C-alpha cells in the first residue's frame, strides 16, 4: 500500500509517496511555495498553492503502477499561518505569512484584554505578532470581516478542507494560534468570548488520524474506486521529529527556513520564568506529550540571504562549503578571521524575542572574503543556537550531550561540525529524505494501523556523528562569553529601549 505525505513549507511545498510498511520513497513532487507581495507585506497565495498541490496529487497518483493502493494523504505545515473561509469555503482576506510583521498593530488590543502572564497561563506561549490570533484580528480590521460568518483554518487544515470539504482543527497547530487552552486541550472560552470568536474555530481531530475521504470531484479525477482518506499531521517540526525517532529526554534541532529546538515533556510549563525567556509550550502529535519549542526565525533564511546578496549560485556555494571544511580545525585561521554575526534578519527568537530586532556584524574588513563571511554566518547561527539551548537546559534542569539534527543542516557537514564545536555536544545528523513528509506518513501509519509502532520501521535513517574538537570548543566558549554575549546584550538593550520610546 501507499501513503502520501504533504509538507507545506515557507519556501517549498513537497508531496511524497511512500510504500508501506517499508517506507520506501516511491515518488515525489515539489514546487516553490507561492506568495503574494502587497502594500502590507507577504501573504501565501493559498489558491495557487492548492491548485499546484492538486495537480501534483493527480500527477503522482495516476503515475503509479497500482494507484488503487494509495490509502491516505496526510498533511503537515508551518504553524501560525492560516486562512479564513466563508460558508461556501471561499477564502476571505489574505493568508498572512507567519513572519510578516504587519500584525504587531494588534498586540495592543490583545494586551488591553489580557496581560502577558494571563495569556501564557492559558495558551503556554508568549504573546507575539507571529501567532494566528494577531493575523485574525488584523484581517478583521483591515478587510472588514464579520468573524461570526467565517472559519479559521491553519495551512495544513485548509489543505485538508480543500481535499475533503470538511473543516477540522489539529492540536499541534492550534498550539500556535494564541487561542488554545493548553491545560484542557480545547479552544479557550475566555479568548473566544473576549474577541467574539465563538464560531471561528473548527472541531478537533486526532493528529494523523484519518477523518474523511477525498471529495468526489478529486476521486473522479483519479479514477480510483477505493477510497483515499485524509488526515492532518500537524506542525511540520513536530512531524519531522517523528521521522527522527525523537524520544523523551532527547532534544531535536530541526532546520529549514527557520531553526528550532524541540524537547518533549510530560506536562507544559506555565511558570513566569519560562514566559520571561519566551519559551513556547505546545501539544505534541503523539503519546499525549507536550513540547518546549524555541524557534530562531532566520536560520536557513540567512543562507539564502547570503546567496542572493552576493550573487552566489548553488554550485559556487557548495564549492565555498568544501573549501571551508578543511579550515575548521585550523585554529589560527579561525582566530585571525573572527567575525561575530548575530543573525536577526527576521527578528530574534528566545530568550529575548523581538519582532523588530536587527542583525549585527562585527569583525569584517576590507580583506574579508566570501569564504570568511560565509563562515561567520554559520558561526553566528551556532552561537545563537547555543544561547537558546543554554536557556532551555537551565530552565528544564536538563543537559543534552547529544543533539539530533534534521533538515537542511543535516546535509551540510560544515554547519554540523560547527554545531559540534560551538555547542560542545555530539551531533547526530539524521539525514532523512523528506523528513517532514516521512514523519507525517509514519504518524498516520501509527494512528490508522498501517504501521506497527513496536516494529523498527525507520531503519533506513542515515546517521552521521560529529564530535566536538575540545580545543576549538574551549576557544568558542571564550568568544561566546567575551564577544557574542556582550554584543547580544548591548544590541538587545538598545532595541528594547528604542521600542519603549516608541
Of 262-266, 441-445, 492-496, the least confident: 492-496
CB-CB neighbours of 185 under 10 Å: 13
- Alpha carbon 204 to chain centroid distance? 21
| Class of residue 378 by CB neighbours under 10 A (exposed 0-12, middle 13-18, buried 19+) | buried
Structure confidence at residue 502 as a pLDDT band (50, 70, 90)? very low
**Cβ proximity of 260 and 238 under 8 Å:** no
Distances from the Cα of 453 to the Cα of 232, 444, 446, 449, angstroms: 19, 11, 6, 9
Counting residues of the chain whose pLDDT is more than 90, the rounded percentage is 83
pLDDT at 295: 85
pLDDT digits (tens, 9 = 90+) for 381-435: 999 999 999 999 999 999 999 999 998 888 899 999 999 999 999 999 998 889 9
Backbone φ, ψ for residue 369 (5° rounding):
-100, 170
Distances from the Cα of 146 to the Cα of 90, 129, 390, angstroms: 14, 21, 44
Q: Tell me the CB-side half-sphere exposure of residue 121, using CA atoms within 13 A.
A: 7
Average the pLDDT over 281-306 and give the result. 91
* Nine-digit cell string for 156: 495544513
CB-CB neighbours of 169 under 10 Å: 23
Q: Could you say which DSSP state residue 410 is in? A: G
**Cβ proximity of 79 and 176 under 8 Å:** yes
Closest of 331, 328, 314 to residue 416, by C-alpha: 328
Cβ contacts of residue 198 below 8 Å, gap of 6+? 148, 192
Closest of 149, 171, 42 to residue 89, by C-alpha: 149
* Helix pair angle (413-423, 370-396), 10° resolution: 50
pLDDT greater than 60 at residue 469: yes
Structure confidence at residue 459 as a pLDDT band (50, 70, 90)? low
pLDDT greater than 70 at residue 457: no
* 3-state SS, residue 455: coil
User: End-to-end CA distance of the chain, in Å?
Assistant: 59
Average the pLDDT over 244-273 and give the result. 91
pLDDT at 115: 96
Closest of 295, 318, 311 to residue 412, by C-alpha: 318
**Cβ proximity of 283 and 185 under 8 Å:** yes
Q: How many contiguous H segments (helices) and E segments (strands) does the chain have? A: 18, 23
- The residues with which 281 forms a beta bridge, in sequence order, are 292
**Cβ proximity of 125 and 133 under 8 Å:** no
Cβ contacts of residue 232 below 8 Å, gap of 6+? 74, 75, 156, 157, 160, 168, 170, 173, 205, 207, 208, 211
The span from the CA of 387 to the CA of 384, in Å, is: 5
Radius of gyration of the chain (CA): 22
User: Any idea which residue has 542572493 for its cell?
Assistant: 308
pLDDT at 501: 38
- The residues with which 429 forms a beta bridge, in sequence order, are 405, 464
pLDDT digits (tens, 9 = 90+) for 39-95: 899 999 999 999 999 999 999 999 999 999 999 999 999 999 999 999 999 999 999
Of 6-10, 177-181, 304-308, 361-365, the least confident: 361-365
Counting residues of the chain whose pLDDT is more than 70, the rounded percentage is 97
User: Any idea which residue has 509514519 for its cell?
Assistant: 442
Q: Where are the domains of the chain?
A: 2-237, 299-398
Closest of 250, 297, 244 to residue 100, by C-alpha: 297
The span from the CA of 290 to the CA of 277, in Å, is: 18
For the chain, give the mean pLDDT. Answer: 93
The span from the CA of 191 to the CA of 486, in Å, is: 39
pLDDT digits (tens, 9 = 90+) for 186-235: 999 999 999 999 999 999 999 999 999 999 999 999 988 899 999 999 99
The answer as to CATH 3.30.420.40 being correct for domain 2-237 is yes
pLDDT at 499: 59
Closest of 1, 486, 440 to residue 207, by C-alpha: 440
* Helix pair angle (155-164, 46-63), 10° resolution: 60
Average the pLDDT over 361-378 and give the result. 90
**Cβ proximity of 80 and 134 under 8 Å:** no
Task: Please list the alpha-helical segments (H only) found in 114-244.
Answer: 116-123, 132-143, 155-164, 171-174, 189-194, 216-222, 236-243
- The residues with which 381 forms a beta bridge, in sequence order, are none
Amino acid at each position: 500500500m501507499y501513503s502520501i505525505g504533504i509538507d507545506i513549507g515557507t519556501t517549498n511545498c513537497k508531496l511524497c509517496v511512500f510504500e508501506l510498511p517499508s517506507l520506501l520513497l516511491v515518488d515525489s513532487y515539489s514546487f516553490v511555495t507561492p506568495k503574494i507581495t502587497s502594500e502590507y507585506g507577504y501573504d501565501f497565495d493559498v489558491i495557487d498553492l492548492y491548485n499546484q498541490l492538486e495537480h501534483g496529487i493527480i500527477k503522482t497518483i495516476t503515475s503509479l503502477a497500482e494507484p488503487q493502493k494509495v490509502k491516505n494523504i496526510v498533511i503537515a505545515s508551518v504553524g501560525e499561518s492560516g486562512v479564513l473561509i466563508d460558508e461556501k469555503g471561499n477564502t476571505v482576506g489574505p493568508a498572512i505569512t507567519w513572519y510578516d510583521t504587519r500584525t504587531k498593530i494588534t498586540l495592543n488590543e490583545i494586551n488591553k484584554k489580557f496581560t502577558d502572564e494571563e495569556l501564557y497561563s492559558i495558551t503556554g506561549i508568549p504573546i507575539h505578532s507571529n501567532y494566528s490570533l494577531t493575523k485574525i484580528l488584523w484581517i478583521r480590521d483591515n478587510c472588514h470581516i464579520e468573524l461570526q460568518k467565517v472559519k479559521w483554518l491553519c495551512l495544513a487544515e485548509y489543505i485538508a478542507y480543500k481535499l475533503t470539504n470538511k473543516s477540522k482543527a489539529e492540536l499541534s497547530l492550534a498550539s500556535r494560534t494564541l487561542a488554545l487552552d493548553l491545560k484542557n486541550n480545547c479552544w479557550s472560552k475566555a479568548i473566544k468570548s473576549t474577541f467574539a470568536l465563538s464560531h471561528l474555530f473548527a472541531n478537533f481531530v486526532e493528529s494523523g488520524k484519518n477523518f474523511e475521504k477525498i471529495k468526489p470531484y478529486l476521486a473522479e479525477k483519479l479514477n480510483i474506486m477505493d477510497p483515499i482518506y485524509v488526515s492532518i499531521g500537524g506542525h511540520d517540526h513536530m512531524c519531522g521529529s517523528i521521522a527522527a525517532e525523537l524520544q523523551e529526554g532527547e532534544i531535536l534541532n530541526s532546520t529549514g527556513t527557520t531553526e528550532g529546538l524541540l524537547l518533549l515533556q510530560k506536562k507544559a510549563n506555565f511558570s513566569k520564568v519560562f514566559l520571561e525567556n519566551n519559551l513556547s509550550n505546545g501539544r505534541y502529535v503523539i503519546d499525549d506529550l507536550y513540547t518546549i519549542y524555541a524557534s530562531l526565525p532566520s536560520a536557513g533564511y540567512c543562507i539564502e540571504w547570503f546567496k542572493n546578496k552576493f550573487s552566489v549560485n548553488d554550485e559556487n556555494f557548495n564549492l565555498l562549503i568544501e573549501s571551508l571544511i578543511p579550515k575548521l580545525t585550523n585554529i589560527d585561521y579561525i582566530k585571525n578571521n573572527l567575525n561575530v554575526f548575530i543573525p536577526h534578519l527576521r527578528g530574534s527568537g528566545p530568550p529575548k524575542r523581538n519582532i523588530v530586532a536587527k542583525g549585527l556584524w562585527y569583525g569584517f574588513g576590507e580583506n574579508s572574503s566570501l569564504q570568511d563571511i560565509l563562515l561567520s554566518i554559520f558561526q553566528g547561527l551556532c552561537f545563537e543556537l547555543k544561547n537558546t539551548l543554554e536557556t532551555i537546559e537551565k530552565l528544564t534542569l536538563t543537559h543534552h550531550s547529544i543533539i539530533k539534527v534534521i533538515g537542511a543542516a543535516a546535509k551540510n557537514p560544515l554547519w554540523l561540525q560547527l554545531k559540534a564545536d560551538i555547542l560542545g555536544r555530539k551531533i547526530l545528523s539524521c539525514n532523512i529524505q523528506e523528513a517532514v513528509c516521512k514523519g507525517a506518513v509514519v504518524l498516520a501509519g501509527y494512528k490508522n494501523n498501517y504501521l506497527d509502532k513496536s516494529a523498527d520501521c525507520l531503519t533506513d535513517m542515515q546517521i552521521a556523528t560529529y564530535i566536538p574538537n575540545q580545543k576549538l570548543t574551549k576557544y568558542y566558549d571564550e568568544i561566546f562569553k567575551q564577544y557574542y554575549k556582550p554584543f547580544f546584550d548591548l544590541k538587545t538593550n538598545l532595541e528594547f529601549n528604542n521600542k519603549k520610546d516608541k
